[in-house]
A and B are shown apart, each in its own frame.
Chain A
Amino acid sequence: MKFVLKIFKSVKPNFEEGGKFKTFLPLYEAMENFCFAPSTTTQLAPFARDPLDVKRFMTMVIIALVPALAMSYYFFGARLIAMIIVSYAAGGMVEVLFACVRKEPIAEGFLVTGMLFPMILPPTLPLPILAIGVIFGVLIGKELFGGTGRNVFNPAIVGRCFLALAYPKAMSGNFTTAGTEIPGRMLEYIHAGNAAAHDAISTATPLVLAKQGEMVNTVDMLIGNTSGSISETSAIAIILGGVFLLLTRIANWRTVVSILAAAFVTAAVIYNTDTTRFAPPMWHMCAGGLLFGAFFMATDPVSSPITNAGKWIYGIMIGVVTMLIRNFTGYVEGVMFAILLGNIIAPILDEIVFKIRIGRLKSEG
């Protein structure tokens, strides 16, 4: 470690006032903070009782993602790592650019966005498309609004919706079957370049098959042994990470509970109107990105409502819209659109809650 520290110390003057690379100070600070705890401490009051800063907040989310990441590495292979690297590189570039121009330190928010984004994409999506998606998401969804904490939409969701609309073919055709034998696909690197070999192992996702009247076993989807977006297939791994987030109170339980409950009830109502055409509610709970979206995407504290009552309504809306889009539109997956709509409606929900509370206070005199 001393060796690394030495390097940081030796290059630091270049980045300080008057140095050669003064513009890139944020980049230096980010690298230093990433490797070491910052040496600066608070000297004067007020002191926070819980040092839950953005850095620890984001680290918790990354820890919660580990089970899902491990499962997807097992099922879909080493390409996951390439996707994560490209996502961090492309999105990080935008982040560094803006931080240098704004002369602000790089916020840790991108650590999560850059990790979440490849996890909700098809396993063999061409890497340039992935890069375009993450750049669009970070630029339009976050940086134009002032960066972490000031955005109104979830950047990963903006990028995902953009890709779904801009590259519909690539986004619906690159699903591989999951590896089943003991090494899984852990030793393989599957990409779409070799078309013939790729066709042999590619398949439609459970949601697409359901529209054609073919049901994938719910147990398979619970474990994750199906095709799908790279980290969305394993329900158990997602629930494991999600419960960790709820216990540490990083994610708000109200959002998660209301999304899942509303989706379940809506799916049950739709299922009972025509049991031959629609899938049962339990199946829908495990299929596609519903769980991943509910635990990791919709709970984003910046783009979801800040009031508790608002969070309930926000969650209910996302759950209902997801099921409506899944069952009645041309899209097979509706979670990302539902969450984006939820982000859009969030400020209005907060406003209504405030109005009602102020009205109640006034009437109490």
Chain B
Amino acid sequence: MSQTNPLPRSASHHGNKYLTAILCAALAAAFFIGTVTHLFF
């Protein structure tokens, strides 16, 4: 893939962007799992 945005990858000035993304993804996963499992209880 040609790279059209040759900027520094991490220009994070307020904490770790990967941590933020992982927490967001975990929240989304929790809502999905909660939705499909709550009918079993």
Q: Do A and B come from one complex?
A: no
